[in-house]
Structure 1
Amino acid sequence: MDYNLKGANLQSITSFNKVDRSTIGDLDFLELDGLTQGGEEITTKTFNQELRLSNTNTDTKFDWSLGGFYQNIKKDVYQNGTTGVDFGGPDAYDTADYVNETNTIALFGFGDYKITDKLTFSAGFRYDIDKFSQVDDLFVTSSERDNNEFQPKVSLSYQASKKVLLYANYGRGYRNGGYNADLTDLFNREFDDETSDNYEFGFKTTTWNDRLIFNGSVFSSKLTNQQQYILDLNTFIAGVYNYDETKVFGFEFETRARLTNYLDVFASFGSSDAEIVEGGTTGGTDGTTTDNSNYNGNKTPFVPVSTFGIGLESSFNITDSVKFNGFINLDTTGKTYYHESNLAKHTTDAYSLLDARIGFSYKNWKLDIWGKNLTDKQYYQEFSPGEFVGSPDDVAWRGRPLSIGTAISLRF
């Protein structure tokens, strides 16, 4: 809902979302009757309410917006597993049965000031007030934690010409912490909030009568208490732990060209160097912690060394009331380390996924037909090296195979 005020616009955005997820699958991917995820049932309910007041006066050098945000997330998780006869079973056991609830109240504001016709200074902030609770029926525990975090952002942009924009940004990132199902040798019962200080320098350009766009940037981030996921096979509990300090440096380029009135080609390339500066310690059911400082200087797991994408997109009117839109793109994920040890056997080579979508819109209706991983490429979405997680073999979860679907939407 929008309300026009004198010199400002008040906007209210309310949303509710519920997602039910049910999963069953193999865990060891062996021909043996070994480890199976007997079932995972996750129900997530999310309520959002945002109020935003924005400037509508265009005859000023200063533009601004401010507002407040409330979010409630309730996540109900149940997981179990089975051990087959080849692994000493059959046995069935619960691995997780808990409810997480997060309440967030946030205040935010942002402003632009035109120092000159070409130079603009921007600054903003977000202040989060988080309260997190967990009720665990499996381990019969109840926990609460809260945190307040101020996240500033500043930016300076320079319009060097009509076709070239230069900019520099600083922003603080934040991800709230929480609780694992239990203390294990690999992670603590509680994991900390993650924060990051992020710097970016870049440019945006257009040419060829604005039909060719070419952008690029260099970025650097310092992360404190970076959160990392792992599966502990000694307990069959998945959890999150923290690195004390990590850093990332990289660059990325993107381009888009309008070849005809109905066809665009686009491409992107990025490279990242992510490093563990101080791994710290975590876990320890018997008082002996896992010392991740042994991996200081190694690459951070699950951060691709490079990414590359290329694709085509088309949009045109079939009739006065029917419009077509579609795309096809190939995304390549580069070399990725699965563990802090950076051992070659726990590292994946680059792989590519081909996705496509065609859509038809008529008045307020839209029909989309999509396909993901059209070549049915096998890849891992999660991976836990057996020698580090208490398993005689590596345990992995394959990424989504070839999938095709459709979606119908109505705007009102």
Structure 2
Amino acid sequence: MERQSLLELAGVRTPAAPDINLSDSNNVILPKVAIDYRFNPNVLIYGSIGRGYKNGGFSSLPSTPEAAAFDPERSWTYEIGTKTNWFNDRLLANLSLFYTRVKDYQVIDFIPPNISSITNAESANIWGLEVEVKAQPATGLNLNAGLGYTNAKYDRYTNGAGINLGENRLSNTPELTYNLGAQYRSPNGFFSRVELQGFGTTFFEETNQAKRSPFGLVNARIGYEFDNFGIYLFSNNLFDKTYLTSSFKNRFDGDRFYGGIGEGRTIGVQVTTQF
């Protein structure tokens, strides 16, 4: 990144900030090891260890080279789980447990008074579980359910304002997610599906002040399917739930919170074909 910042007064240009001339390159090896064992045709267990990496780089707004550069983010992820199927694949149940240790976690921070920049938290820990169940209790009828729990927190992090945010939750990571669905496809072509998608409390920035409360969305679809043609009436966010997709605290407007609103009820018609 190359940048000059100049101030011109009465035709005279003077530097307004130090010149920034930065470059960086990295080579990284990302190993992954996985092993699984099948006890019988219905039960499999597995485990894996893998390394993750996210490039470092430069933010364009800070006025000094030291504040502009941020480091790569490195992680190790450990996962164990089981996959099972029963009753001739009419019931599937899967469970996974995971833990991720992140060093130099990249954060969008505010350097006083109002400069936005990517910085690094020293470390973060992420652990949780996922459960998935699928069932076919009758011909044409499919049920599914899923549950995810994620505990994602900074381990050691002091932000640009000098505030210790260790133990705060990571941004945009809901603690709980879940889904329920039911779908029916009849032999004569009738199709219907209804599903619920749920999200737990979510924080939008590192101080954990701007947040979204738990909520759920219902989507539905009915239609008719021919051999290679289908027509459907659908609705997303059927009950017109109002929810946030982003939020932040405006330090220059009485500490008010601003944010973006998710899409409301959508109703439409879809036509599909295969050839």
TM-score, normalised on structure 1? Answer: 0.54
Residue of structure 2 equivalent to 1:278: 156
Residue of structure 2 equivalent to 1:198: 77
Q: Distance in 2 between matches of 1:316 and 1:221?
A: 44
How much does 1:209 deviate? 2.9
SS at match of 1:202: strand
Q: Is the 8 A contact 1:163 1:207 kept in 2?
A: yes
Distance 1:170 1:405, change over 3 A: farther
Distance 1:398 1:180, change over 3 A: farther
SS at match of 1:295: coil
Between 1 and 2, higher relative CO (CA 8 Å, sep ≥ 6) is seen in 2
Distance 1:362 1:335, change over 3 A: same
Could you tell me which of 154, 179, 182 is aligned with 2:61?
A: 182
Q: Distance in 2 between matches of 1:403 and 1:354?
A: 11
Residue of structure 1 equivalent to 2:8: none
Residue of structure 2 equivalent to 1:304: 174
Q: Does 1:173 align with 2:52?
A: yes
Q: Does 1:269 align with 2:147?
A: yes
SS at match of 2:240: coil
Task: Give the number of equivalent residue pairs.
Answer: 261
Q: Is the 8 A contact 1:182 1:188 kept in 2?
A: no
Residue of structure 2 equivalent to 1:340: 206
Q: Which moved more, 1:361-370 or 1:166-175?
A: 361-370
Distance 1:352 1:147, change over 3 A: same
Q: Is the 8 A contact 2:111 2:161 kept in 1?
A: no
Residue of structure 2 equivalent to 1:295: 165
How much does 1:411 deviate? 6.0
Could you tell me which of 145, 154, 179 is aligned with 2:33?
A: 154
How much does 1:225 deviate? 2.6
Distance 1:134 1:249, change over 3 A: farther
Corresponding letter in the other structure for 2:152: A
| Structure 1 unmatched runs, 5+ | 1-132, 282-288
Residues 4-43 of structure 1 aligned to structure 2 (within 5 Å): none
Distance 1:382 1:233, change over 3 A: farther
Residue of structure 2 equivalent to 1:255: 133
Q: Is the 8 A contact 2:43 2:83 kept in 1?
A: yes
SS at match of 2:29: strand
Q: Is the 8 A contact 2:211 2:247 kept in 1?
A: no
Q: Distance in 2 between matches of 1:363 and 1:141?
A: 63
Q: Distance in 2 between matches of 1:148 and 1:154?
A: 20
Residues 76-87 of structure 1 aligned to structure 2 (within 5 Å): none
Q: Distance in 1 between matches of 2:185 and 2:90?
A: 15
How much does 1:316 deviate? 4.8
| Structure 2 unmatched runs, 5+ | 5-18
Q: Does 1:383 align with 2:254?
A: no
Deviation per residue, 1:299-329 (Å, 9 max, x gap)? 22322121121111234554xxxx6655321
Residue of structure 2 equivalent to 1:372: 236
SS at match of 1:226: strand
Residues 322-333 of structure 1 aligned to structure 2 (within 5 Å): 326-333=192-199
Distance 1:149 1:349, change over 3 A: same
Residue of structure 2 equivalent to 1:90: none
How much does 1:365 deviate? 5.9
| TM-align CA RMSD | 3.7
Residues 59-208 of structure 1 aligned to structure 2 (within 5 Å): 145-183=24-62, 188-208=67-87
Distance 1:375 1:165, change over 3 A: same
Corresponding letter in the other structure for 2:48: N
Residue of structure 2 equivalent to 1:399: 262
Corresponding letter in the other structure for 2:37: Y
Corresponding letter in the other structure for 1:383: S
Corresponding letter in the other structure for 2:141: L
Q: Is the 8 A contact 2:61 2:68 kept in 1?
A: yes
Q: Distance in 1 between matches of 2:201 and 2:63?
A: 30
Distance 1:190 1:359, change over 3 A: farther
Deviation per residue, 1:300-359 (Å, 9 max, x gap)? 2322121121111234554xxxx665532111111223343345xx44331111123456
Q: Distance in 2 between matches of 1:276 and 1:228?
A: 10
Distance 1:142 1:256, change over 3 A: farther
Q: Distance in 2 between matches of 1:165 and 1:347?
A: 39
Q: Distance in 2 between matches of 1:399 and 1:386?
A: 20
Q: Distance in 2 between matches of 1:317 and 1:238?
A: 57
Distance 1:313 1:386, change over 3 A: same
Q: Distance in 2 between matches of 1:196 and 1:153?
A: 12
Distance 1:238 1:356, change over 3 A: farther
Q: Distance in 1 between matches of 2:238 and 2:2?
A: 40
Q: Is the 8 A contact 2:61 2:116 kept in 1?
A: no
Q: Does 1:353 align with 2:217?
A: yes
Distance 1:291 1:209, change over 3 A: same
How much does 1:261 deviate? 1.3
Q: Distance in 2 between matches of 1:190 and 1:404?
A: 46
TM-score, normalised on structure 2? Answer: 0.77
